[in-house]
A and B are shown apart, each in its own frame.
Chain A
Amino acid sequence: MTTGPTRAPSGSPPPPPADPGARLRHEGAGDYLAAWRERLAAFLDSDLVYSFLRSKLAVAAAIVTVLVVGAAFLAPLIAPHDPYDLKSLELIDSDKPPAWEDGGEARFPLGTDDQGRDILSTILYGTRSSILIGICSVALALAIGVSLGLWAGYAGGRADSIIMRIADVQLTFPAILTALLIDGVALAIFKNYRMEGGRFWILVLSIGLSYWVQYARTVRGVTLVERNKDYVAAARLIGIGPLRIMFQHILPNVLNPVLVIATINLALAIITEATLSFLGVGLPPTEPSLGTMIQIGNKYLFSGSWWMVAFPGLTLALLALAVNLLGDWLRDALNPKLR
């Protein structure tokens, strides 16, 4: 049935609209919804979704990621205890094994750590911190890397040389070393100031600043190709400024590889945060992230309290693996050469 609004039904004339404005608004909303529905249909029909649904690994990885991330962000609602509420910690509850072991308690399904914190709740809250730090630092790295990459590729010449040489130099250091260095300097600068919340942003800064190079190099490479294309020349001809050309015209064309790197780097950032926390320079033990939990648990590994390190370790491995698999799949799916 294709009944267009232009073809009026024959017979009785249509009743006059009571409120033309309401009808207009209604039609507008309908159009908007329809447009979205169309877009969604186009998306569901796209190669990307097709390839996603066909890849069992990608679907499994996505389910795990959604479960872990969802549980982490719902932590305040679903966690049985609030591990950040230090008042509620009782040393008498410390070192309890998981509920199914001898001496375990149903209150603490996965046992407790050396301070009497519930492991399950701490994992949920800790994962949330880990993911938040991961996302924020990836966003920072992305912003720096993409801007510098665009600038280097578009401007060329001296700017290109300087930016890319800095990138090369930084690439010779392992990212974790750079992160440790930035973390150390930041902590030395802020040592006498109040620490509340500060550690979080110091971590974001140190991880973000150590991972921007990859974005910059990729974006620069694509920009070098794009800037010689006709549409850029046309844009320049009609007098569009370089900033607008870079961000409005070239950027959309370099987004695909950037998205892939960002996904894979999210897993890397989470692991880097865990490593820094494990080394004792990350989140403080009073507000543990997954890495801090593993660091604390590691001390008790030999004494038989395996649950303190096993569960957070497992969660970290699962999360990193799932996000990595997603990134891998995305890279393959977006690469036309692999189709």
Chain B
Amino acid sequence: MRSGMKAATALLSLVLAAGAADARPIKWARAGDALTLDPHSQNEGPTHNLLQQIYEPLIIRDHRGRLLPTLATSWKITRDPNVWEFKLRQGVTFHNGNPFTADDVVFSFERALQPTSDMKGILTSIDKVIRIDDHTVHIRTKGPNPILPDYLTTVYMMDKEWSEANNTVTVEDYKAKKDNYAVRHSNGTGPYMLVSREQDVRTVLRLYDKYWGKGQVPLGIEEITYTVIKADATRVAALVSGDVDFVQDVPVQDIAQLEKTSGLRLTQGPENRSIFLGMDVGSADLKTDSIEGKNPLADKRVRQAINMVIDRAAIRRAVMRNQSAPSGMVIGPLVNGYSKELGAPPALSVDKAKSLMAAAGYPSGFSITFHCPNDRYVADEAICQAVTSMLARIGIKANLVAQSKAKHFPLIQKAETEFFLLGWGVPTYDSDYVFNFLHHTRAGRFGSWNATRYSNAEVDRMIESLSSEIDIAKRNATIARIWKVVQDETIYVALHDQLLVHAMKRDLDIPVSPDNVVHMKFIAPKK
């Protein structure tokens, strides 16, 4: 029996070795780069996507949305309903060889809760993280939080010793452009370690040979060259000509052509992300508008008019080439709290919108600066242009400023924009994540992406109650009440949920995940 086991183990390792020999490098192209490598500095899609290869959270979400044990092997609520217990994986080492222990977990959570951390908004319910032994931690929440594990899939674990040695205990202050060591260097437990990085150009990662998951996951990619190619046509041409193996952001206009190209594979799927317009609804006066002494966007009727004049069906057909699902809510159907009734976009009516504008006292409209990213979401700049011409029908002259997300996002985080386009994905699949970041008054752990200046004490109170409400029915009722209020106020104007297309060489099969995150460790090239 024992010798049989040995033989099987030997055979297994042989198969694995053979498998490893099949591993290939991959050249991976995206429209935009990770904003930083500091794991807790930016809660942003492409940043997470790159970080997920290098760092690991306690739990990850796979491409079907299931939670998978990663640095934690199991978790449960203890007898005290306010305390979760996580058992940590043993034998895990960081890329520098340091062992991964409970001290690193405590350190990482404390770091992620610092004021400059952008991850604090995801951890609003956490009170304290306590080390029990080397491989057990307790997370105490401010009230019972039955869905805590859902919130941990993007909170990465850092090496305490390495961070202290390199003076990077404090999270980078991204808004103030204050650098630290972790922005350019990394030391995670993930399957790939950083070889070189040139911001906005190229990042090279190599397989970490002591990765704990060896033998458990395919690890069919031995080296990742992550290249940023901003121009749509160039990115697609690079794939067709063989310069890159995988394009994660396929421009909608090129899908038809790529489907006809031999030797390529296209994968499709919905992303759990809404694209919407945000407005400054709180300031007394706007800086970039043509109205003096008043804020036209503070008038609900103006916001409703904007909501009514956006032709989402035309955007879907002409700009998104059917790769979108028009929506009236800033969450998609995958998220707890979505309602069909609220999620239906309002009926298009230019006449009604015009009379609303007139009733609000702006019959001839006004002008305002409109900020838009041009390398982040599917067809983002074209969407903004289309919105600009639709707004012109009710006299709103939106002066479009389309720029890289590295310039656009700080405007939102510093609340320096008064009218903007943003997309928001929901890794937790729950509304309270959206409320925490986008609707709660900007204060403490809350509202770090809320550039609307919206502040409603009643809504804030309801949002805060969500993280400790243990009765699911009651919690869902509160979520519905919050949505009712903010939808009624038209704080954001939702456009659509985007669908994603990845294109790659035939021997790869990289599925679209609703988070738009690729875990390269799961990819096994076929012969």
Interface residues of A (CB under 8 A from B): 85-87, 89-92, 94-95, 114-116, 191-196, 280, 284-286, 298-305
Which residues from chain A contact B314 at a C-beta distance below 8 Å?
A: 90-92
In angstroms, Cα B370 to Cα A191, docked, is 11
Contact B402 A300 (CB under 8 A): no
* Segment at the A interface, from B188-196, B251-259, B468-476: B251-259
Residue in B closest to A85 when the chains form the complex, CB atoms: B392
Given A95-B318, A302-B257, A303-B256, CB of A89 within 8 Å of CB of B401: no
Which residues from chain B contact A192 at a C-beta distance below 8 Å?
A: 287-288, 369, 416
Smallest beta-carbon distance A84→chain B, Å: 10
Q: Classify the secondary structure of B's interface with A.
A: helix
17 residue pairs from A and B, CB less than 8 Å apart? A86-B388, A87-B393, A91-B317, A94-B318, A114-B253, A114-B319, A194-B289, A194-B290, A195-B288, A195-B399, A195-B401, A280-B402, A284-B402, A302-B254, A303-B251, A303-B253, A303-B256
Is B96 engaged at the interface, CB distance under 8 Å to the other chain? Answer: no
Smallest beta-carbon distance A28→chain B, Å: 52
Smallest beta-carbon distance B371→chain A, Å: 9
Q: Classify the secondary structure of A's interface with B.
A: loop
- Cβ 8 A contact of A115, one of B374, B385, B416: B385
Contact B257 A285 (CB under 8 A): no
Apart from A192-B416, A299-B251, list 5 A-B contacts with CB within 8 A: A92-B317, A114-B385, A115-B389, A192-B288, A284-B401
Contact A87 B392 (CB under 8 A): yes
- Cβ 8 A contact of A285, one of B232, B287, B385, B397: B385
- Cβ 8 A contact of A116, one of B253, B318, B381, B397: B318
Contact B399 A91 (CB under 8 A): no
Which residues from chain B contact A114 at a C-beta distance below 8 Å?
A: 253, 318-319, 382, 385
Which residues from chain A contact B392 at a C-beta distance below 8 Å?
A: 85-87
Contact B253 A299 (CB under 8 A): yes
Interface residues of B (CB under 8 A from A): 231-233, 236-237, 240, 251, 253-254, 256-257, 287-290, 311, 314-315, 317-319, 367, 369, 374, 381-382, 385-386, 388-389, 391-393, 397, 399-403, 416
Which residues from chain B contact A301 at a C-beta distance below 8 Å?
A: 233
In angstroms, Cα B232 to Cα A302, docked, is 9
Which residues from chain B contact A91 at a C-beta distance below 8 Å?
A: 311, 314-315, 317-319, 386
Contact B253 A300 (CB under 8 A): yes
Residue in B closest to A288 when the chains form the complex, CB atoms: B385
- Cβ 8 A contact of B237, one of A191, A300, A302: A302
Smallest beta-carbon distance B459→chain A, Å: 28
In angstroms, Cα B522 to Cα A84, docked, is 50
Which residues from chain B contact A196 at a C-beta distance below 8 Å?
A: 367, 397, 399
Smallest beta-carbon distance B330→chain A, Å: 22
Contact A193 B233 (CB under 8 A): no
Residue in B closest to A281 when the chains form the complex, CB atoms: B403
Given A91-B311, A91-B317, A284-B402, CB of A303 within 8 Å of CB of B257: yes
Contact B399 A298 (CB under 8 A): no
Smallest beta-carbon distance A129→chain B, Å: 16
Smallest beta-carbon distance B386→chain A, Å: 6
Smallest beta-carbon distance B201→chain A, Å: 16
In angstroms, Cα B257 to Cα A193, docked, is 42
Which residues from chain A contact B288 at a C-beta distance below 8 Å?
A: 192-195
Residue in A closest to B350 when the chains form the complex, CB atoms: A87
In angstroms, Cα B386 to Cα A95, docked, is 13
Contact B381 A285 (CB under 8 A): yes
Contact B367 A284 (CB under 8 A): no
In angstroms, Cα B290 to Cα A91, docked, is 27
Smallest beta-carbon distance B420→chain A, Å: 13
In angstroms, Cα B318 to Cα A65, docked, is 36
In angstroms, Cα B233 to Cα A300, docked, is 7
Contact B233 A298 (CB under 8 A): yes
Which residues from chain A contact B253 at a C-beta distance below 8 Å?
A: 114, 299-300, 302-303, 305
